[in-house]
Structure 1
Amino acid sequence: MRSSIVALTLLSTTSLASADSLDVVASFSILADMTRVVGGDHVSVTSLVGPGEDAHVYQPIPTDVVAVTGADLVITNGLGFEGFLERLIEASDSQATIVTASTGIDVIEVGEDDHHDHDDHDDHAHAHDDDHNHDHAHDDHDDHGHDDHAHDDHGHDDHDHDHAHDDDHDHDHGHDDEHAHDDHGHEDHDHHDHAHHDHDHGPNDPHAWQSLDAAQIYVANIADGLCEALPGHCDEFTANAQAYASELEALEANWEAALADVAVDGRTIITSHDAFGYLARDFDLTILAAQGMSTESEASAADVAAIIDQILETGARALFVENISDPRLIEQIADETGLTVTGTLYSDALSVEGEASTYLGMMASNLRAISEALQATN
């Protein structure tokens, strides 16, 4: 009799635990952090690509299959970023709901010229027009649509959570955790300054988390996915998402204030790979990058020479290494231009520890590094 009571108690406890929390797999560290903030105590989150790791070159490991197999939700960026993920989900035979965090954002479309060598680099910088009508796409998104989980303003009617991973994932990458923007007036998006054979992410720039506007939509989509999977705690998820959105808005205001005294034509920074297009669009930055949108592509001697020519022509002096990239490319550019490496920017991954180990901290760290560098060189 006693053993039966114990068994029933264990069964009841297990059922309660499963109804009170979710096992969530996030494709990379930035999404994992957002999910933890929104989900709070009701999520256990595993990040496939961990802090300090590069999703562009990631290869799944056996524990990834185990994690995805047991997941209730898989949070993915989409936009062709996680080339490893579709095959991983198929291999795991996972029944998890797929939440594509970038659904409904104002996507930067990559033109044909962004996938081959450019002879005239001056036509392809991430220079963003003065008339760039920065509408802040989140203005219509303040409530995040959590009352009905529809996101009508952003095209989120159904969310397509059931295996909504992209069909254009055609490149391998893929850890176990603990560790058209018409509103912005940028129809002519042939401003990329990466002269190289770009590793193909598809027709869109996937690095949308670099926009604090887009990040609010990411957070809203994650909250919607959690609400659908665990409706009993939807009020908590919604409140967490709204509080997080307020922090994102405050940080965006900090960016605007920090760059207010820097002339638009003095906002040029030099990085390894072209991961900051959304940041450039939001804050009228010009980005010079020898590599393409993937760190898997290698900059040729001609690419490096072209960037060096542009640095000399523009007088750009804010030179950054990235936390996920081999610093030798930037060190070569520094040697050949006489510049000093200004600091580190966080592009596609959080840091293992320190300020940049959270998304808000990462963006604050990037703000400090970029604003201080530009103010010192203007």
Structure 2
Amino acid sequence: MNLHPRRHTIAALAAIGALAFQPLTHAQTSAPVKAVASFSILGDLVRQVGGERVQVDVLVGPGADAHVFQPSPSHAKQVAQAQVVFANGLGFEGWMQRLLDSAGYQGKPVLVSQGIKPLPSEGDDHDHKGGKHDHHHHHGGADPHAWQAVPNVITYVANIAKGLCAADAAGCDTYQKNAGAYTDQLRALDAEIKAIWATIPAAQRKLITSHDAFGYYARAYGVKFLAPQGVSTDSEASAKGVAQLVRQIKKEKTKALFVESISDPRLIEQIGREAGVKPAGELFSDALSDASGPAGTYVAMMRTNTQAMAQAIRGR
């Protein structure tokens, strides 16, 4: 008689064992999808769409400049382990193909700018004889900074969702839902930026930045940017270009002068001294700040930049 309780115990243990085993196999099938994003802004967008199903590694981190990035063996290892790689495209990551080759990555990277009509990189007002060559060399004549206009990022988000669905069909509903919710946020952000600029007369919407990264922003929001450097930060500003810019600042009485978070501030400071204008602060062009900074996400970056520009133009 006293064997029965033991038999019950064994049965109960077997049942618990079976229960304990099931969640484990479930956990194994739903290990996060490994994604690699080329730079910090794109990393944030992939996280917004991927949510908890996706682990995102970023190659060019917050505050770093993707134009002059040199991939290391640890970057190649991240790419080799990735199930999906996201890149901006439009020639922004000149180093990407070499990295994919050295990592032995079999797939094709998802180019998030697909479907966007690129601006030509000649968007600068100065005759940079040297700079122009650099642009063609690096960007094939296209301005890669398409994320500076919020409507373009809505296209990025759709491309990211498609790329994640292809890598993880089981999570597709989740990705589409996340992309839809984030797109609503982006539409609201776009309207907010337009509303801020609507309070400033068009003739006053003029700024100076260290490199020509805001062409898409200029077109989307009706702002004029002047920059001593070309589209890529690794093209040098010519002395003639700088002198021309100083004359232009004085002539147009431009008050808003900004350094970009990724650039050497000395050039802008020199221009400011020669033109008699004090730099108004820092803008985030090609990289987010770290999480504790004012531009830890794409939405925060666009909001921070817009508010800083508008305040500088209003002379605050």
Matched, 1:37 2:42: no
Which residue of structure 1 lines up, in the alignment, with residue 298 of structure 2?
Answer: 359
Secondary structure in 1 matching 2:225: strand
Cα pair distance change 1:86/1:18, threshold 3 Å: farther
Matched, 1:246 2:184: yes
Query: What is the rounded CA distance, in whole Å, between the counterparts of 2:126 and 2:156 in structure 1?
Result: 27
Query: What is the rounded CA distance, in whole Å, between the counterparts of 2:175 and 2:152 in structure 1?
Result: 18
Q: Which string of whole-angstrom CA distances, capped at 9 and with x for unpartnered residues, describes residues 35-62 of structure 1?
A: 0111000111111000000001110011
Query: What is the rounded CA distance, in whole Å, between the counterparts of 1:299 and 1:71 in structure 2?
Result: 38
Q: Which string of whole-angstrom CA distances, capped at 9 and with x for unpartnered residues, describes residues 197-239 of structure 1?
A: 2222112110000010101000110011111111111111111
Secondary structure in 1 matching 2:295: helix
How many aligned residue pairs are there?
291
Secondary structure in 2 matching 1:348: coil
Q: Which string of whole-angstrom CA distances, capped at 9 and with x for unpartnered residues, describes residues 32-90 of structure 1?
A: 00001110001111110000000011100110010000000000000000011100001
Higher helix share: 2
- Which residue, 224, 240, 245 being the options, matches 1:286? 224
Matched, 1:193 2:164: no
Query: What is the RMSD of the two structures over their aligned residues, measured on CA atoms?
Result: 1.9
Query: What is the rounded CA distance, in whole Å, between the counterparts of 2:96 and 2:37 in structure 1?
Result: 10
Shift of 1:358: 0.6
Instruction: Letter of the 1:328 partner, please give it.
Output: R
Gaps of 5+ in 1: 1-5, 115-190
Percent same amino acid among aligned pairs?
Answer: 47
Which residue of structure 1 lines up, in the alignment, with residue 119 of structure 2?
Answer: 108
CA contact (8 A) 2:86 2:111 kept: yes
Matched, 1:67 2:78: yes
Question: Looking at both structures, which has the greater relative contact order when contacts are Cα pairs under 8 Å and sequence separation is at least 6?
Answer: 1
CA contact (8 A) 1:324 1:348 kept: yes
Secondary structure in 1 matching 2:37: strand
Which residue of structure 2 lines up, in the alignment, with residue 3 of structure 1?
Answer: none
Query: What is the rounded CA distance, in whole Å, between the counterparts of 2:22 and 2:250 in structure 1?
Result: 69
Higher Cα Rg, which structure:
2
Which residue of structure 1 lines up, in the alignment, with residue 261 of structure 2?
Answer: 323
CA contact (8 A) 1:195 1:291 kept: no
Shift of 1:13: 4.4
- Which residue, 67, 87, 94 being the options, matches 1:83? 94
Q: Which string of whole-angstrom CA distances, capped at 9 and with x for unpartnered residues, describes residues 105-134 of structure 1?
A: 132123xxx3xxxxxxxxxxxxxxxxxxxx
Query: What is the rounded CA distance, in whole Å, between the counterparts of 2:97 and 2:183 in structure 1?
Result: 29
User: Could you tell me the TM-score, scaled by structure 2's length?
Assistant: 0.88
Query: What is the rounded CA distance, in whole Å, between the counterparts of 1:104 and 1:297 in structure 2?
Result: 28
Q: Which runs of 4+ in 1 moved over 4 A?
A: 9-16
Query: What is the rounded CA distance, in whole Å, between the counterparts of 1:62 and 1:11 in structure 2?
Result: 38
User: Could you tell me the TM-score, scaled by structure 1's length?
Assistant: 0.74
Q: Which string of whole-angstrom CA distances, capped at 9 and with x for unpartnered residues, describes residues 213-267 of structure 1?
A: 1010001100111111111111111111111111111111111111112111111
Instruction: Letter of the 1:306 partner, please give it.
Output: Q
Matched, 1:344 2:282: yes
Query: What is the rounded CA distance, in whole Å, between the counterparts of 2:190 and 2:23 in structure 1?
Result: 46
Secondary structure in 1 matching 2:142: coil
CA contact (8 A) 1:72 1:95 kept: no
